[in-house]
Structure 1
Amino acid sequence: MEFVNQQKSNERSNNLIYAWLFFAVSSLIFAGIFAFLVAMARTPVIQDILPGKDYIRIALVGHVILSVVIWFLAFEGVLWTFTSTEFLGVRIFSRAVAWSGFWLSVAGTVFIVIAAIFGLGIPLFINYIPVLTHPLFYTGLLILAAGIAITLLNTFLTIRKAFKERTYSGPVPLITFGMAMSGMAVAIAFICFGLSYYFQIFAPSRKVLLDFETLFWGGGHILQFANTIAMVTVWLFSANLVFKKFPIKDMYAKALYLFYLLFVIPAPFIYFIYDTASQEYKDTFTSLMQYGLGPSTGIFAIALLILIMSSSGGNKLLSKIKGLPWAEPAFSSLVISMAIFVFGGFISLMIYGSNTKIPSHYHGVIGGVTLSFMGLTNHMIYTLKRDIYSARLARMQPYVYGIGQTLFVIGMFIAGSHGVQRKTFGAAQNLDDIAKIIGMSIVGIGGLIAITGGIIFVVNSILSLIGPQRVFPVADPVKKSFQENKSW
């Protein structure tokens, strides 16, 4: 199904899509600012003027929550809105509710950013959602969660409205189905957060103090399902943009999505089986992610690889690879995203102990999700009737970010293999042999290259979004523009 050419323009939903996309890209601006502040917090003299004695940890909390939590949820907000309206040919269920969800998400993010900039509270490096122990930060998280929850509710009601009114022909479009599954995973993750809070505070076995690691452990694992499902959906979307077809039949693809849910839906019941303070509680959620993410993602990746190789001319492998459209950002970001994600997943099989192999693993998978979202942004900008500010930068960006992120992952793996512990900084890293020094040096070089790729993406996207609107005379303006504007 060539759904890309069947989208129906809806100015009202376009305004909301534009807002979510601008918010998503802007979150990376602040993530970059905090990455810069991490470097400044290690710089003599400058570190003395920053708030707090240990500002590097505060800045890291700000960077991680913006780049891993808010950026992902905001871009998923783009896709939830886009796929539930444009693909189904229906107006959004409630504009008032939709905008309420958006502005609550923005307001929550502002509170989080303010808390991190001014160094409020003590930084806690919690898995999945790091925390600053300050009421302003807590309030920001709650408001952000409320905004996302409202957005999800409105999305589900919009899909229900389209189904009742039969505004589309045939089955639910695959991309809409995939993002609905991602939304369900986010909703279940929020339920897990609520249950964890309840069993720690109000249940008969309640604790005196709230344990944030326990609070975010279960729901954090389920959020990774949501992000992976969204990434796979973007892979399929990008493949259809480039090759005008999906790599797998609609029925089988939807079955693979439902397989993810087999490991997501049971999650809330774990809180009624195990004490949240028990090791069984932690191990069960780890097992859900360990066995639930790999099979469907692997099958999707293999199907995409087969589609890619069968779409290229030539009989020999090298000629097939050369014949692929490497100059198209939708394609290059798809391939590099898949490669980085698979690399990060492979590293997970070699993790033991608490060393930097762990961040090596999740920087690989997170990098794969991030690059897939970045790659689709060009199409979203054109859907909003804007030109890409610089097609040359758009072509470069996936390679720059991909190379940097790969080096970062490799460096972390080398350092961890030689005993460098995670969540340590400066002298505490104990870089006492050449292998550790080489590993962390590669981390620094890769980090700088990846940040450069991030800057290119943010600058090019923002300048494109604030550019003038135009009316495209063709159904597929992205590809046509990249073909015509060779001078860029």
Structure 2
Amino acid sequence: MLGVSALAGAGLFSLLLVLSRTPVIGDWFPWANFFRTALVVHVNLSVLIWFLGFSALLWSLDAPSGSRLVRASQGLAFAGTLTIVIAPFLGAGEPLLNNYVPMLQHPLFYAGLLLFGAGIALQALQRLLQPARGVFRALAPSLKLSALVVLGSLLVLALNGYQLNSGSSQAYFELLFWAPGHLLQFSHTLLMLLAWLLLVAGLQPGALKHPRWLTPLAALTLAPVLFAIPLLLLYTVDSMESRQGFTDLMRFGGLASLPLALYILFQLRRDTHPLASLRYTALACSLTLFAAGGVLGFLIDGVNVVIPAHYHGSIVGVTLAFMGLSYALLPLLGFLVPSPVWARRQLLIYASGQLMHITGLAWSGGYGVQRKTAGAAQGLDQLPEIAGMALMGTGGLISIIGGVLYLLLMIRSMGRSAAPEGNGPAARPQRAR
């Protein structure tokens, strides 16, 4: 519910963001400051809250529903999200477009982030303390590694805050979130891969071929995180060496995920389950976008829209994996699965739109179009630049349609309980916690 709600809010803001950057249409929106405020809220809802909210879902799949720690985590996360959403309407302004966690300079917005972060930290702690059990116990060691990385990222955030002089400038928040933001991406990548694994295995991780390899390969995926230790010990948070070190860590450290990705593809098999086509569609779409984002990461040269093309591809790759897995998890949580035909259409619409979106951005970036600008400020005065950004806008609008369709399918399904008949998980529905 938290993830779906966050995506719903992000979708409303993304529509205005895409329109404000689309040639001709963007000139009708003289909202430079609104663009920046909307971008801050959109990024935090669609990346920070959606990703970490879904992470908490995976960590809590086998958690007892009556756990006080789980209830406290949920309460804090929901309260923090609500505070972040309403902050712009209660006076929070002066947007700062620093990387990873863009900010609105207002105590209410800060409080929302602290509440949400505390909720996620409690759920990660619960995952570390919870013994492995149930059908997902084969994933427990890998999920614990993910939770450990998230807690480590929060610790690095606290250490950065201690080192830095208190401030509220964009440079301050850029330094504050740079290292922990990079580290979080390793957890997101691992959970995306585990989502692929569940999609391939039909939510039956016990049926994997050579299951003993799963935990070592998950550990290998996160092994580059250990290089953060010398970076933190040898360099100050505001040094160029630290900044470049964490940049290289993410750029090259992502290659450590390839063995686990190949292991997952090795699990592919002929599957006649009615939802198999849906699961494999989600896998193919996620893999395509994530790979495209990874390739674009090596093509970045300067500060232009190739940068958002890179991270949009990677982010959307994770999002598509989580979307596909959310459909498959609905019966386990006591809900009806939406129409597999419409769910596949949703995934394909969203993926194709985002592929057009990042292609347009990458093309325009080759002509030097700058990031974090809108309307006339983009300086689109050549036909290739205009064509590239028009493709970006068209793809963005198509992906918004796919995103809205996802929300409609999920909300409709979560409003109906599965009938306890037949065999399989849906026959013994558990109410969603």
TM over 0.5: yes
33, 36, 42: which one aligns with 2:15: 36
Secondary structure of the residue aligned to 1:54 is helix
Q: Does 1:148 align with 2:135?
A: no
**CA pair 53-368 structure 1, distance change in 2 beyond 3 A:** closer
- Alignment of 1:184 with 2:148, yes or no, is yes
Inter-partner Cα distance in structure 1 for 2:236 and 2:209: 41
Pairing of 1:241-280 with structure 2 (within 5 A): 241=202, 249-268=210-229, 270-280=231-241
Deviates more, 1:265-274 or 1:421-430: 265-274
Of residues 42, 50, 55, the one that matches 1:71 is: 50
Counterpart contact for 2:20–2:29, Cα < 8 Å: yes
In 1, the alpha carbon distance for the partners of 2:168 and 2:375 equals 34
Name the residue aligned to 2:373.
424
- Is 1:122–2:81 an aligned residue pair? no
Question: Closer, same or farther in 2 for the Cα pair 1:215/1:446, shift >3 Å?
Answer: same
Equivalent position of 2:110 in the other structure? 138
Corresponding residue of 2:431: none
Structure-2 residue corresponding to 1:302: 262
Please give the secondary structure, in 2, of the residue aligned with 1:386. coil
Letter in 2 for 1:347: L
What is the Cα deviation at residue 175 of structure 1? Answer: 2.1
Amino acid at match of 1:64: V
Which amino acid in the other structure matches residue 344 of structure 1?
G
Say which one has the larger Rg. 1
Greater relative contact order structure (CA < 8 Å, 6+ sep): 2
For the 8 Å contact 2:218–2:260, the answer to whether it is kept is: no
Distance change >3 Å, CA 47–CA 23, structure 1 → 2 = same
Tell me if the contact between 2:309 and 2:359 (Cα under 8 Å) persists in the aligned partners. yes
CA distance in 1, matches of 2:183, 2:26: 41
Distance 1:298-1:74 versus aligned 2 partners, 3 A rule: same
Contact 2:420 2:426 in 1 (8 A): no
After TM superposition, the score normalised by the length of structure 2 is 0.90
Runs of 4+ with >4 A deviation: 39-48, 206-210, 242-248, 323-327
CA distance in 1, matches of 2:299, 2:275: 32
How far did residue 401 of structure 1 move? 0.7
The 2-side partners of 1:98 and 1:140 are apart by: 19
Identity between Structure 1 and Structure 2 (%) = 35
1:195 to 159, 162, 170: 159
Query: What SS does structure 1 have at the residue aligned with 2:303?
Result: coil
- Aligned partners of 1:183 and 1:405: how far apart in 2? 29
Q: In 2, distance between residues paired with 1:444 and 1:53?
A: 17
| Aligned alpha-carbon RMSD (Å) | 2.8
Amino acid corresponding to residue 175 of structure 1 in structure 2: L
How many pairs does the alignment contain? 423
Aligned residue identity for 2:162: Y
How far has the Cα of 1:469 moved from its partner? Answer: 4.1
Distance in 2 of aligned mates of 1:120 and 1:98: 30
Matching residue within 350, 353, 362 for 1:413 = 362
Measured after TM superposition, the shift of residue 277 of structure 1 is 1.4
- Alpha carbons 2:356, 2:391 under 8 Å: kept: yes
Bigger drift between 389-398 and 125-134 goes to: 389-398
Matched, 1:456 2:417: no
State how far apart, in whole Å, the 1-side matches of 2:112 and 2:28 are: 28
Aligned to 1:108: 80
The alpha-carbon deviation at position 267 of structure 1 amounts to 2.5
Question: What does residue 213 of structure 1 align with?
Answer: 174
Structure 2: gaps of 5 or more residues = 428-433
> Whole-Å Cα distance in 1 between the matches of residues 39 and 347 of structure 2?
24
Give the residue type in structure 1 aligned to 2:103.
V
Name the structure 1 match of 2:339.
390
Give SS of 1:293's match: helix
TM-score scaled by length of structure 1:
0.80
Is the CA contact 1:238–1:376 (under 8 Å) kept in the aligned structure 2? Answer: yes
Shift of 1:431: 1.0
* Residue identity matched to 1:73: L
Checking the alignment, whether the CA contact within 8 Å between 1:59 and 1:117 is kept in structure 2 is no
- Give 1:465 shift: 0.6
Instruction: Give the letter aligned to residue 331 of structure 1.
Output: Y
Range moving further from structure 2, 404-413 or 465-474: 465-474
Paired with 1:434 and 1:53, the residues of 2 have a C-alpha distance of: 24
Q: Within 2, Cα distance between the matches of 1:35 and 1:56?
A: 10
Q: Secondary structure at the match of 2:69?
A: helix
Change (3 A) 1:124 1:154: same
Retained in 1: the 8 A contact 2:308–2:361?
A: yes
How far apart are 1:397 and its partner, in Å?
A: 1.1
1:337 shift after superposition = 0.3
Alignment of 1:157 onto 2:129: yes
Q: 1:102 to 1:326 in 2, by over 3 A?
A: closer
Equivalent positions of 1:340-351 (< 5 A) are 340-351=289-300
Contact preservation (8 Å) 1:355, 1:421: yes
* Counterparts in 2 of 1:370 and 1:190: CA distance versus 1, 3 Å: same
Distance 2:314 2:52 in 1: 16
In structure 1, what is the equivalent of residue 430 of structure 2?
Answer: none
